[in-house]
Amino acid sequence: MTATIAPSRVESLASSGIESIPKEYVRLNEELTSMGNVFEEEKKDDGYQIPTIDIKDIASKDQEVRDKAIQELKRAAMEWGVMHLVNYGISDELIHRVKVAGETFFELPVEEKEKYANDQASGNLQGYGSKLANSASGRLEWEDYYFHLCFPEDKRDFSIWPKTPADYIPAVSEYSKELRSLATKILSALSLALGLEEGRLEKEVGGIEELLLQFKINYYPKCPQPELALGVEAHTDVSALTFILHNMVPGLQLFYEGKWVTAKCVPNSIIMHIGDTIEILSNGKYKSILHRGLVNKEKVRISWAVFCEPPKEKIVLMPLPDLVSGEEVARYPPRTFAQHVQYKLFRKTQDP
């Protein structure tokens, strides 16, 4: 008997006319809470709302204005670890170009996109791909993606960047440069808020030379049974910071105070996550929040994420000595970034 081979891409599966999803995509029972209609979930007013932080004031010449803005950023980073950034200094036109470039690439036929397919088996994640199961549950996620390093400029490999549309490389290159400057601004403010020297956190994550920006377009097709599937399973980001644009279709959920809270779509904002790297350096003062992505029946959801990551081996991540004194003990053992990623994968595969 010949086994039928399922389409290798979620997009192909979604457009094949199926009414129920293959069992590999059905989440475990304990994951199925608050996975109703995402549009209804977004409308809920349960008193929880991700903070919105106005970035323009954190570099203000007026000390009082600047201090107030930095304290607001600090509170959001400590209580939530995720926030909507507004007035972040990147033009609407450039943001639009980045979104159009990603949407245009994903509108190409799957066969065309396959020319850029990555090779996960050999450890090469850069390129076009779909998430392979790497957890004990063996569950798959309802998404396809495009992934590549986008900064520093001397570490990029344009041969694996999409050639179509023509504006993809110019738009994403310019956006990466702008985001790198924004990351410096944020890291400076987060350092000052902890009583550290302004450049301290940036130095600890690799500085201008070594901090890597990884670009990932997440494409979540329409799903016939969204109450059973996840676009991305619950996780915390390993990065220092993550910056996310999206196409104004809700889906992001945060695990806050013991319950899943659906993020509202805030126009002209960038979502920013504090990642594990900053949580470790701050000895847990700043929070890397557990989050996941829902899918829906009606609209394709796309997000554009940039993960700001320290070099894999060159830096040992551990709580900063300045923040571990007196009765406060270090809450995290020293590990390189690569060791932290492996530790998380190992823990994931050991979970029942």
Convert the pLDDT of each residue in 207-228 to its tens digit.
999 999 999 999 999 999 999 9
Which range, of 5-9, 49-53, 62-66, 186-190, averages the lowest pLDDT? 5-9
At residue 351, does pLDDT exceed 80?
Answer: no
Residue 4 has what pLDDT?
38
At residue 52, does pLDDT exceed 50?
Answer: yes
Residue 3 has what pLDDT?
37
Reported confidence tier of residue 326, pLDDT bands at 50, 70, 90:
confident
Catalytic residue (one of 57, 144, 237, 276):
237
Q: Mean pLDDT in the chain?
A: 92
At residue 2, does pLDDT exceed 70?
Answer: no
Which range, of 6-20, 141-155, 265-279, 294-308, averages the lowest pLDDT? 6-20
**pLDDT 10s digits, 126-161:** 999 997 655 556 789 999 999 999 999 999 999 999
Reported confidence tier of residue 287, pLDDT bands at 50, 70, 90:
very high
At residue 7, does pLDDT exceed 60?
Answer: no
Catalytic residue (one of 74, 185, 222, 235):
235
Instruction: Assess whether 148 carries a catalytic annotation.
Output: no
Fold topology of 10-49+93-349: Jelly Rolls (2.60.120)
User: How many angstroms separate the first and last alpha carbons of the chain?
Assistant: 34
At residue 97, does pLDDT exceed 80?
Answer: yes
Catalytic residue (one of 216, 273, 287, 340):
216
Reported confidence tier of residue 120, pLDDT bands at 50, 70, 90:
confident
Which range, of 7-11, 89-93, 239-243, 267-271, averages the lowest pLDDT? 7-11
pTM greater than the 0.75 cutoff: yes
Reported confidence tier of residue 307, pLDDT bands at 50, 70, 90:
very high
**pLDDT 10s digits, 248-267:** 999 999 999 999 999 999 99
Q: Which residue has the higher pLDDT, 94 or 36?
A: 94
What is the average pLDDT across 269-297?
98
Catalytic residue (one of 273, 287, 291, 340):
291
**pLDDT 10s digits, 167-196:** 999 999 999 999 999 999 999 999 999 999
CA gyration radius for the chain? Answer: 20
Reported confidence tier of residue 6, pLDDT bands at 50, 70, 90:
very low
Instruction: Assess whether 237 carries a catalytic annotation.
Output: yes
Residue 42 has what pLDDT?
86
Separation CA 116–CA 102 (nearest Å): 14
